[in-house]
Structure 1
């Protein structure tokens, strides 16, 4: 079962062949992008993820989520994070922030840090068909905290870069906006 699942989902993720037509289309699209980051946003995005951003990412993380291969859950980091100025208290989050700074400066030194384990979750229909299972990759919590901090930072600047009609996954925009726009267009056409 493991081999069947791995083969099926690996084939779905294969990179498409890069054709001349695809390269031209991509170049055309990229050449027509007019939105750009401000210098302030560039500097903000280029700066290292600090303790405060790491803390916000940890606080935004839900307890009870499955950890990765190292088995360390969010609750561990929340328990051993120093929330008050107590010199005797261990602050694991401060150590984790230093690791993140090192990763940003020198790159990822260990592949184990970014490895995950794929689990298949049944969706619906025939349980005997592999396409009816959704792959979920469990990655280490320390890696999830870092990616959450990066995603939060990106979420702050994304609305200024992405067209106003793009509603999905943009803070402050929702599916209702797209639905309402479609309804208004239909009413106008009638």
Structure 2
């Protein structure tokens, strides 16, 4: 347009044609690569298969919620208040069960003394007790998924990946300070909670939702560091029957064990039965005094216990309901679904 000559116009047209051809070739390669990956992995227990069978959830809108007393709530504010009251009670279901209750602590100690809790060896304790390094933190930051929903501070994994050179040297001394018993600001421990409906359940039932905590990314980095250190040692502490969340163990092992037991009972004509038990709200009802005493009995060093206590020192949560401002409430029991350390 600046120099409307025919030669310039022809050159511009040719350049546009070449650029479009490159775009088409690039799209063709991407499509071919996608087909190849799908062909290679579609019949395996892998991401493509999981995506195909994963149910499509509706958008997180709530038309009506019925609380435990049978009262219906149908405005966004009422629904928010109902969920907040329900989860505030769930996460503080037994106020007397705290570390100032000496009777409770005595009962816990008596139970653990009789339970013959496995103990880490000196080498494992030393590995858990060593300070964090910048290299460890960088590896965790590299593995962050850039598009995961952030916590209340709004800082995504992509932010930490882009500014790793500036952030990692600051995170390392912070995390190591916590090993000595330091604490975190209350804002750091605030989590936004999104509610996922449980498959096959009535979506109007207030207890038919799974709370997923959206933690601040720096807290997830710390929790992931702890989980990576503790993970290889879990087989020392956890019975072989437990296969969920255990590195190196698979769910089919228990399926195979059940099939073997059925065969054994039938071949020897031994009257038998299988009993399936499900702990309701297992993540949410875990009591901290018991967990902390259990970790001590297992031999976890004081520095690791201090890190764990820092993550559970007055945490807060807020339920996200479209069309309302969340109301924070304290958490006094349970482990957060969405925290990398919780399964461990």
Report TM bin, short chain.
0.7 to 0.9
The 2-side partners of 1:7 and 1:176 are apart by 39
| TM-score normalised by structure 1 residue count | 0.83
Give the match for residue 126 of structure 2: 43
The 2-side partners of 1:135 and 1:7 are apart by 14
The 2-side partners of 1:37 and 1:21 are apart by 26
Q: Does 1:117 align with 2:192?
A: yes
The 2-side partners of 1:177 and 1:138 are apart by 32
- Write out aligned runs for 1:148-163 (5 A): 148-163=224-239
Q: Does 1:68 align with 2:151?
A: yes
Long gaps (5+) in structure 2: 1-78, 267-344
Tell me if the contact between 2:134 and 2:168 (Cα under 8 Å) persists in the aligned partners. yes
Shift of 1:72: 0.6
Give the match for residue 80 of structure 2: 2
Q: Does 1:59 align with 2:142?
A: yes
Q: Against the structure 1 CA distance between its residues 79 and 167, is the aligned structure 2 distance closer, same or farther, given a 3 Å change threshold?
A: same
Tell me if the contact between 2:144 and 2:158 (Cα under 8 Å) persists in the aligned partners. no
Aligned to 1:99, which of 174, 187, 190? Answer: 174
Aligned to 2:90, which of 12, 30, 34? Answer: 12
| 3-state secondary structure, aligned to 1:118 | strand
- Root-mean-square deviation (CA, aligned residues, Å) is 2.5
Shift of 1:13: 2.7
Q: Against the structure 1 CA distance between its residues 131 and 105, is the aligned structure 2 distance closer, same or farther, given a 3 Å change threshold?
A: same
Using CA pairs below 8 Å that are at least 6 residues apart, which structure has the higher relative contact order? 2
The 2-side partners of 1:127 and 1:28 are apart by 39
Give the match for residue 164 of structure 1: 240
Tell me if the contact between 1:58 and 1:74 (Cα under 8 Å) persists in the aligned partners. yes
Most deviating of 120-129 and 97-106: 120-129
| 3-state secondary structure, aligned to 2:246 | coil
- Deviations 1:91-150 (CA, angstroms, capped at 9, x unpaired): 322221122122223412411111112222333443322122222222110000100110
| 3-state secondary structure, aligned to 1:7 | helix
Long gaps (5+) in structure 1: 82-89
> Highest Rg: 1 or 2?
2
Shift of 1:43: 1.4
- Deviations 1:61-106 (CA, angstroms, capped at 9, x unpaired): 322111111111011111122xxxxxxxx43222211221222234
Shift of 1:38: 0.8
- Deviations 1:44-68 (CA, angstroms, capped at 9, x unpaired): 1122222222223223332211111
- Deviations 1:17-45 (CA, angstroms, capped at 9, x unpaired): 66979965762344332521111111111
Aligned residues: 182
Most deviating of 179-188 and 7-16: 7-16
Give the match for residue 86 of structure 1: none
